[in-house]
């Protein structure tokens, strides 16, 4: 039996007028066309194939199913040109709205204009451009807060000592830039960033970057890694180089990472549940299309997790359903 929309929390937000944008042709977004049987049809354009992206898609798919929404999906695999092609393809399928996990915030303007011209509103996950006026809405992870939380943990742990930090970023152009910039800006004066290279959300690439960093900076104190899959690869590289003392701080809050916190492979992570993001995205899109009250820009909860509170961290990925 379908779970009612917005079942996990009370409806909140501003009046309907804040979620509808006026255009020369009337209200934006337009009334949902729906399928022949009355169901809303959505398209989901995912940005990659990391564990975050996989869990996000599982949550989007599960929530769409539970709300009787027809869903079409596509994956851009960290390529902006592929993202444009995916958006064009889903527009041609006559979806009522698009949920997009973008690979490049700077390229979004063209994506949004293309969809708007076709009468298809875009809803974003994880990040937004500076101007959100042409969006249906978004569910964002406060990546600046995520970066700050990891930096604050280093500040506390360093206790005023002069320390060195290596950064293994994700893919340039979108979420990683926001995350890393916030982390670096929040580090205390006694923490020096000695390396900052992209790992492209690829464990193999991240391991190579970590090997280079530890070779050039054998006394490294901390490493900030933009997701946990890359962090595991970095841990192997550091350990193989005899640098087991390097403390790794990272992002996501997966079950595997919680185990790594408990056994000391990681020092801290920041939980930002992909399950929550995907569920909020579908529920909020459906509510906005139906003219119900909800937040236009909603937020996924974030939380610093260490060995001490790992047992109470929220679920990161939806449980497989059979």
Q: What is the pLDDT of residue 2?
A: 36
Per-residue pLDDT of the chain (322 residues; tens, 9 = 90+): 333 333 333 333 333 222 222 222 333 444 544 445 678 999 999 999 988 999 999 999 999 999 999 999 999 999 999 999 999 999 999 999 999 999 988 778 888 888 989 999 999 998 888 889 999 999 998 999 999 999 999 999 999 999 999 999 999 877 899 999 999 999 999 999 999 999 999 999 999 999 999 999 999 999 999 999 999 999 999 999 999 999 999 999 999 999 999 999 999 999 999 999 999 999 999 999 999 999 999 999 999 999 999 999 988 998 765 3
**Among 273, 211, 200, 280, CA closest to 242:** 211
Tell me if 284 sits within 8 A of 123, measured CB to CB.
Answer: yes
Q: For the segment 185-194, what is each residue's pLDDT rounded down to a tens digit?
A: 999 999 999 9
- Element counts in the chain: helices (H) and strands (E): 9, 14
- Backbone Cα Rg of the chain: 20
303-305 sheet: strands from edge to edge: 191-198, 163-169, 222-225, 247-252, 268-271, 303-305
Cα-based torsion angle of the residue sequence 294, 41, 60, 149 in order, rounded to the nearest 10 degrees: -40
Tell me if 284 sits within 8 A of 258, measured CB to CB.
Answer: no
Q: What is the pLDDT of residue 3?
A: 35
Task: Name the 3-class secondary structure at 80.
Answer: helix
> Is the Cα dihedral 174, 180, 183, 186 positive or negative?
negative
Q: Cα separation of 192 and 190, whole Å?
A: 7
Q: What is the pLDDT of residue 314?
A: 86
């Amino acid at each position: 039996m379908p779970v009612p929309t917005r079942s996990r929390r009370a409806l909140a937000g501003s009046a309907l007028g804040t979620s509808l944008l006026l255009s020369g042709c009337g209200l934006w977004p337009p009334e949902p066309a729906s399928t022949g049987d009355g169901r809303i049809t959505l398209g989901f354009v995912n940005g990659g194939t990391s564990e975050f992206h996989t869990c996000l898609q599982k949550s989007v798919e599960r929530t769409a199913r539970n709300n009787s929404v027809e869903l079409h999906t596509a994956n851009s695999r960290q390529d902006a040109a592929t993202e444009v092609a995916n958006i064009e393809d889903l527009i041609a399928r006559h979806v009522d709205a698009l949920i997009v996990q973008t690979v490049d915030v700077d390229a979004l303007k063209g994506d949004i204009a293309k969809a708007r011209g076709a009468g298809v509103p875009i809803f974003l996950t994880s990040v937004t451009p500076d101007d959100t006026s042409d969006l249906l809405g978004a569910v964002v992870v406060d990546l600046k807060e995520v970066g700050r939380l990891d930096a604050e943990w280093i500040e506390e742990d360093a206790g005023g000592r002069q320390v060195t930090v290596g950064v293994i970023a994700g893919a340039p152009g979108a979420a990683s830039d926001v995350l890393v910039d916030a982390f670096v800006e929040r580090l205390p004066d006694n923490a020096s960033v000695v390396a900052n290279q992209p790992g492209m959300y690829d464990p193999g690439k991240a391991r190579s970057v970590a090997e280079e960093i530890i070779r050039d900076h054998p006394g490294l104190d901390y490493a900030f890694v933009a997701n946990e899959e890359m962090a595991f690869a970095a841990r192997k590289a550091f350990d193989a180089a005899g640098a087991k003392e390097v403390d790794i701080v990272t992002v996501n809050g997966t079950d595997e990472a919680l185990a790594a916190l408990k056994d000391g492979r990681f020092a801290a992570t920041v939980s930002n549940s992909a399950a929550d993001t995907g569920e909020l995205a579908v529920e909020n899109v459906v509510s906005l299309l139906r003219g119900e009250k909800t937040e236009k820009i909603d937020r996924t909860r974030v939380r610093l997790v260490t060995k001490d509170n790992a047992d109470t961290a929220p679920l990161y990925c939806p449980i497989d359903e059979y």
